[in-house]
Amino acid sequence: MTNRTEFRFAGSGGQGLILAGIILADAAVSQENKNAVQTQSYGPEARGGSSKSEVIVSDDTIEYPKATKLDYMIALTQESFSKYIGDLKDDGIVIVDREMVRDYSKAKGKLYVLDMVKTAREELGKLLGLNIIALGALVAISGIVSHESAEKALMSRVPKGFEEYNKKALEIGFRLAKEAKNNK
Amino acid sequence: MTKNIKLMQGNEAVAEGAIIAGCDFFAGYPITPSSEVMEQLSSKLVKLGKVCIQMEDEIAALGAVLGAALGGAKALTASSGPGMSLKAEHIGYASMCEIPCVIVNVMRGGPSTGLPTLPAQGDIMQARWGTHGDHAIIAITPSSVNESLYETIRAFNLAIKYRTPVLILTDEIIGHMREKVVIPNKEDIKEILDVKLPDVPPEKYFPYNYTSGKVTSLAPMGEGYRYHVTGLIHGETGFPSQKTDVIQNAQKWLYDKIYKNIKDIEKFEEFQTEDADILIFAYGSVSRSARQAILMARSAGIKAGLFRPITIWPFPEERVSSLSKKIKKIIVPEMNMGQAVLEVQRNACGSDVYGLNVVNGEPITPDTIYYKIKEVAGA
């Protein structure tokens, strides 16, 4: 149980956070032969509402499949940030988007404020791929899997014709995380 | 990396297990949280030249499955709460006519529409008694994605071997979570039973032979074996009968073929029960929390152990009874108001049996079980 690392992608339905969680878990399992469990929780609505996707990574057997004390949380809406920040460990790491989360006064542990939405708009031209930027940022900050594993797992789940777009989104996530780390 | 390791969803693992088992036919009516079973099979089965069909409702879906099985197909359907209520009708027909089939119930909160996206274990007694009349049933409760795959294969085997409907009871957690699965090659599977022609010629074939003590294989329609299929109590050829000895033998047979073979059908796992003072009886997703709670209790000096039924019906009466002779406190955590606990109480005479019931749409956490262990240890 000691090397159990818990992640949560938090936001609203339709942002693609469940997929981001699946790719993270897939990178751990298929690329690095670790144990990982991915779960999600959502309401009956297809868009909007709070949505969370959780990943637990461990070298040991993972019994309880849901997160209880988060090591890492990434929040892409104010609502989900406020709702879930209490689940973060005191020495955990929380990543928020600068535009989407305005009030992070309740943040604890280590806080990273990244320009994910802004960079997506500027460099990708749209917000599609925000989930992959978030994934890249989480991978780079946590180091739970290598950049290469994350990219391979991503490529195995991207529809044909969207490989470059997604690769670019992932790279943006890596870069924003690196810049933020260097500024700490 | 081994290419047989895959991140997979519980529902996907059921579909994968069905394909390895040689499933020929799926009929269903999609319902959350079971839909991915059908989604997967709709492409995978069809690519193998087999059949996946969406019917007009859940009753028809099981009807189609039974028709396919009478034609010699290995057949499967999958559903959840409201759909299982509808299927109850045909589960009885499958029991009575002794038609092998596998039925997956990915349990969600109920009654009625209940909680489509949230887990529960409220259908344990429905699995046992959901259809009317006396009958026995086999039901399996996997606790992981990997086990969902292997237990689906076993479910097909049991269905054919005992000519009975077999239920697989997972829940929203097991069905929707993704975890590591080692996908076996067909050669790695110990046993895959196939539908066989009877070992007697057609003129000597009696599909409902209640007194031989052996389960006769069900001859696929169209192979020259003539028999009648009816939900009425029937004699050895399948035609209805009201003779008292036939009725008695038929009713008894539906029980005996399962309960006299319980050693072959039952399957369970124990964890640290050898020296346990407190036993946790837990199945499905809850058993994962129980195992973690037991480790917490052990580090706090409380000797707890786990009994996990993998086959929940027929109930593992003998083992629960023998464990209860040395372990005097038993906790039964369930995501319902107390269903399997009734069977534990019935079989564990002389032990204190405590229910732990969480019915709020959330899984039972290891902490919740651990606190109960501490409370019971101090009692």
CB neighbourhood size of B151 (10 A): 25
Spell out the residues 6+ positions from residue B200 whose beta carbon is closer than 8 angstroms to its own.
Answer: none
pLDDT-derived band at A46 (thresholds 50, 70, 90) equals: low
Interface probe for A, chosen from B178, B292, B295 (most Cβ of A below 10 Å), is B178
d(CA B139, CA B127): 7
Mean pLDDT of B349-371: 96
Q: Which two three-digit tokens encode residue B177?
A: 């979570």
Amino acid of residue A103 = D
| Cβ contact B25:B50 at 8 Å | yes
E-assigned strand segments in A21-176: 35-41, 48-58, 70-75, 88-97, 110-114
**CATH label of the domain that carries residue A177:** 3.40.920.10
Check if CATH label 3.40.50.970 holds for domain B5-188: yes
Closest-CA residue of chain B to A62: B288
How many Å lie between the alpha carbon of A68 and the closest alpha carbon of chain B?
9
Residue B118 pLDDT > 60: yes
Domain count, chain A: 1
| Coil vs helix vs strand at B71 | coil
**Residue B372: what pLDDT?**
98
Q: B318-328 pLDDT, tens per residue?
A: 999 999 999 99
Structural domain containing residue A104: 5-183
**A25 touches B: beta carbon within 8 Å:** yes
d(CA A176, CA B262): 60
| Cβ contact A76:A129 at 8 Å | no
B1, A31: Cβ pair inside 8 Å? yes
Q: B256-279 pLDDT, tens per residue?
A: 999 999 999 999 999 999 999 999
**Residue A3: what pLDDT?**
85
Q: B31-60 pLDDT, tens per residue?
A: 999 999 999 999 999 999 999 999 999 999
d(CA A42, CA A30): 26
What is the biggest distance separating any 2 CA atoms in chain B, rounded to whole angstroms? Answer: 68
Q: Which of B117, B176, B288 sits opposite A63 (nearest CB)?
A: B288
Residue A43 pLDDT > 80: no
Which residue shows structure tokens 């050669």?
Answer: B187
**Residue A14: what pLDDT?**
85
Q: Which of B2, B117, B292 sits opposite A64 (nearest CB)?
A: B292
**Residue B1: what pLDDT?**
40
Q: A90-134 pLDDT, tens per residue?
A: 999 999 999 999 999 999 999 999 999 999 999 999 999 999 999
What are the residues facing B278 on neighbouring strands?
A: B304, B329
CB neighbourhood size of B146 (10 A): 18
Which residue shows structure tokens 């197909």?
Answer: B73
Q: Which fold has domain B269-378?
A: Rossmann fold (3.40.50)
- With contacts defined as CB-CB under 8 Å, which chain B residues touch A66? 173, 363, 365
| Cβ contact A142:A5 at 8 Å | yes
Long-range contacts from B89-93, C-beta under 8 angstroms, 24+ separation: B89/B59, B89/B131, B90/B59, B90/B62, B90/B63, B90/B66, B91/B62, B91/B130, B91/B131, B91/B137, B91/B165, B92/B131, B92/B132, B92/B133, B92/B135, B92/B231, B93/B66, B93/B231
pLDDT-derived band at A41 (thresholds 50, 70, 90) equals: confident
d(CA B123, CA B110): 9
d(CA A134, CA A81): 14
pLDDT-derived band at B298 (thresholds 50, 70, 90) equals: very high
pLDDT-derived band at B3 (thresholds 50, 70, 90) equals: low
Mean pLDDT of B109-113: 96
The rounded mean pLDDT for chain B is 96
Q: What is the H or E stretch that residue B51 is in?
A: strand B51-54
Nearest alpha carbon to residue B72 among B153, B151, B160: B160
Task: Domain ranges for chain B, please list them.
Answer: 5-188, 269-378
pLDDT-derived band at A1 (thresholds 50, 70, 90) equals: very low
Nearest alpha carbon to residue B155 among B311, B325, B321, B340: B311
Mean pLDDT of B310-336: 98
Handedness of CA B19, B154, B173, B338 (dihedral sign): positive
- The pTM for the full model equals 0.95
Q: What percent of chain B has pLDDT over 90?
A: 96
d(CA B151, CA B147): 6
| Cβ contact B51:B68 at 8 Å | yes
